Amino acid sequence: MDQATAIAHPNVELIRYWGNADEALHIPSNSSISMNLAGLETSVTVSWSFKNSRDMVTVDGEEPPVSLYRRIVTHLDHIRRLVGKSLRAKVVARSNFPPAMGVNMNASLFAALTLAAVRAAGLELSERELTSLARLGEGAACRSIPSGFVIWHRGDSHETSFAESIAGPEHWPLVDLITVVSLVKHNGTQANGHMLAATSDLQAGRIISAPGRLAECKEAILDRDFRRFAEVVEMDTTMMHAVMMTSRPQVFYWAPITLSIIDRVRAWRDAGLNVCFSIEAGPNVHCICEARDADQIEAQLSSMGGVLEVRKATPGGPARLI
C-alpha cells in the first residue's frame, strides 16, 4: 500500500477569480492573485490500494456530502489516468478551521489531496504541473500549492492555466484578521456562483479591467506599498460582489454587519492604519493589515456586536509532504 500525507493552507484572494472561461477545466475568466494563510491548514492522507472496491473518503472524520465525494473521486480519476492503473484510494482529510468561515476549504483540500495522491502513486510532477492538476479539482486549489503570494495565470488550456509564487511568505509580514460573522453556508454555492457570473451584465467589464488590477496588485505586493495594495484589493473584491449582486438571480452575500465592517475598515485606513477588506462568497470579512497594526485592529473588530470570532492568519508557505 502506497501512502502519503500532505498539508496545504487555504488562500485569501486579493485579485479575485469569479467565472470560468471553461467550466469543465476550471479555466478562469481572469488571472488572480492570492496569499496563502498560515495558521489554517488542511491535511490529506491518501493510501492507494487494489483491495477496495471504491474510493473511501472522510473529511473531518465524517463522510462528505455526495457532491464533494463525487468531485474527489473525479479528481482521483485524473491521477489514476496519469498512473495508468485502476487503484482505489482511501482519503482522510482534516482541517483546523470550520467550513463557511469565509475561507474556501476546498482550495487547501484539493491542493493537499493532489500532492498526497500524486506522491503516493509514485508520480514525479513539477510544481507547475501540480498546480494545473489541482486546478481540475477546485480552481482556487492551484494557488494553495506554491508559496506565499501566488498568481494564477488564466491561460487558455489545461497546461497554460497554472499558478506560481510571486513572493515568499517572509516577503511582507501581513496579517489576515478573518472576521467571522456567520458560520452558516450561504445558499448560493461557489460552483453555482461561477456559473452565475456570466449572467451579470457587469461581468464583462470586470473581466476586461481585471488585468489592470492584477498588474497593480502584483506591483503593490512587490513594493510592499500598502495604500496601493488596499485600494486595488478593495476595488477588486467589490467588483466581484457587484457582479454577484447583479447576476440572475441576484445574489447578495453581504450581511448588514459586512457593511459595518467595510465602513470601519475604510475609516481606520483614513485614520492612518494599514488595513483593507477582502470578502469571499459570503458575509465574513478578511481584514488584511500590516503586522504593526494587527493587535489594535483585532481588538476593535472583536468588540463589534455581531462578530463571532476573529481568526488570525499570516502569509503561508507552499503545500508540502509530511
Binding residues for its own copies, rule: CB under 8 A, are: 201-206, 208-209, 234-235, 238-239, 241-243, 245-246, 248, 250, 252, 254-260, 262-263, 266
H-helix or E-strand containing 34?
Answer: strand 32-38
- Smallest separation (angstroms) from its own copies to the CB of 146: 28
Nearer to its own copies by Cβ, of 209 and 314: the residue is: 209
Nearest distance in Å: CB 269, its own copies: 12
Q: What's the min distance (Å) between Cβ of 102 and its own copies? A: 17
Residue 177 C-beta: closest distance to its own copies, Å: 19
Residue with Cβ nearer its own copies (84 or 272): 272
Q: CA-CA distance, 17 to 141, in Å (whole number)?
A: 12
CA dihedral (157, 155, 78, 102) positive or negative: negative
CA dihedral 172, 177, 183, 189 (to 10 degrees): -40
In the three-class reduction of DSSP (H, G, I as helix; E, B as strand; rest coil), residue 122 is classed as coil
Helix boundaries (H) for 172-289: 190-196, 203-223, 226-245, 256-270
**Least separation, in Å, of the C-beta of 190 and its own copies?**
20
Closest CA to 91 of 122, 59, 57, 48: 57
Query: Which residues face 13 on adjacent strands?
Result: 34
- Which residue lies nearer to its own copies by CB, 108 or 203? 203
In DSSP terms, 100 is beta-bridged to none
Residue 58 or 199 with smaller CB distance to its own copies: 199
d(CA 90, CA 88): 7
The three-state DSSP-derived secondary structure of 43-84 is EEEEEEECCCCCCEEEECCECCCHHHHHHHHHHHHHHHHHHC
Nearer residue to its own copies within complex by CB, 105 or 279: 279
Nearest residue (CB) to its own copies, 272 versus 305? 305
Decide whether 135 or 206 has the Cβ nearer to its own copies. Answer: 206
Shortest spacing between CB 201 and its own copies, in angstroms = 4
In the chain, the amino acid numbered 196 is: L
Residue 45 Cβ vs its own copies, minimum distance, rounded to whole Å? 42
Helices 66-83, 105-120: inter-axial angle, 10-degree rounding: 30
Non-local CB neighbours of 293 within 8 Å, separated by 6+ positions: 273, 274, 275
Q: Which is nearer to its own copies, 99 or 306 (CB)?
A: 306
